[in-house]
A and B are shown apart, each in its own frame.
Chain A
């Protein structure tokens, strides 16, 4: 299970760095140790990525060509925004944050309090 997740990242890496549309064979060849991997494994991984909405695909002859729907930076930003948007209000406990936002006033007030505590 974990291994497949790592392979997803590797495959995604190839799509991002090529910047274009790749067939399964091309992804396989581009992978660092591609020769040792099975064609069907990469096909499965790409299919998973398609199911998750991370890649788009189009039929080209007898095979599909795949491309990334979003760049690496967009994925990072989305992960971050989802995380920041979650966990507050009545949305429950999908994830637990270390701390929520403070207003500048609260922040200044607490800094003063800490400085005082540090001196005593």
Chain B
């Protein structure tokens, strides 16, 4: 009982501290994808721990017959846990734990499903209309490219779900404002979004924030993830388009992309998402106009190790029964 509570507190503490570190991390823009992965692993890892704590406390109230079926190690766990909490006290905790595990799972799944359906429906409405009025641009890429005859500048992509082809839309207003290199960079940026499946990362963070909105870490992750993904797409665009440009100079290509950003953002008439997304354009232009900062090896290794730990936590929840079974002889020896 105390064991469970202490573990739970530790996990919450670690989650808060890691969240703070990630928000302040000066290296985040240098490794946007790794940082996004860290956010997600941190969020899911914390959830998994809560789930595990809930399930563990179920052992308090599980009937002895069921505990026996669970196998050696878990049975021993149950014995240890029961020795910590006996009487009606333990029953209340066990039921509370079970409810906690159920509620957490249901909320997460419900939110994920709701969020992906909502996004899907909105995309389909767009695609239906685009099918009527959009002009299909020739594309030798995996994605569809559509030109929309509108003088207002806009460039965006509609992801194709889990495996489908995505669609990139540019308006004629965009083409009028940019030169050929810049148009290619903008298309490559959207293409990078699609190929790297950024919408799934955003959907996950939105779903987590909606499901557990009172938790600051999740709301924070939801705000931090989209700008990082924009940076990742910028990098992808430069990587893909650099060989196609005349100079092949990385700094120059980065500046061309930054120019395109400033031109389009300055010309946009409708305040699109200006409220929520909150000025990632400024950070992106600053980042692109300076030299490319790469993560040093020790930092990368630390970050990967951190992400790996969170991942291990996640896997351990899924694999717990198997691990328990494997550890059984050791445990028995220890207890015996």
Binding site for B on A (CB under 8 A): 5-6, 8-9, 12, 52, 54, 72, 75-102, 104, 106-107, 110-111, 113-114, 117-118
Contacts and interface: CB of A to CB of B under 8 A. Distances in A.
Contacts of A80: 148, 150, 152, 154, 171
Contacts of A83: 126, 154, 156, 169
17 contacts: A81-B270, A84-B154, A87-B273, A92-B118, A92-B206, A93-B159, A93-B199, A93-B226, A95-B156, A97-B154, A98-B190, A99-B155, A100-B268, A101-B268, A102-B281, A102-B282, A107-B262
A100 B281 contact: yes
Nearest to A90: B276
User: Interface majority SS on A: helix, strand, loop or mixed?
Assistant: helix
B126 A95 contact: yes
B193 interface: yes
B266 interface: yes
A66 to B, nearest CB: 14
Given A86-B122, A93-B206, 6 more contacts: A79-B148, A88-B274, A93-B203, A99-B264, A100-B268, A102-B281
Interface residues of B, number: 66
A63 to B, nearest CB: 23
Contact of B276 (A88, A95, A111): A88
B132 interface: yes
A9 B132 contact: yes
Nearest to A103: B274
Contacts of A92: 115, 118-119, 202-203, 206
Given A80-B171, A83-B169, A107 B255 contact: no
Contacts of A86: 122, 126, 273
B126 to A, nearest CB: 6
Contact of B265 (A72, A95, A99, A117): A99
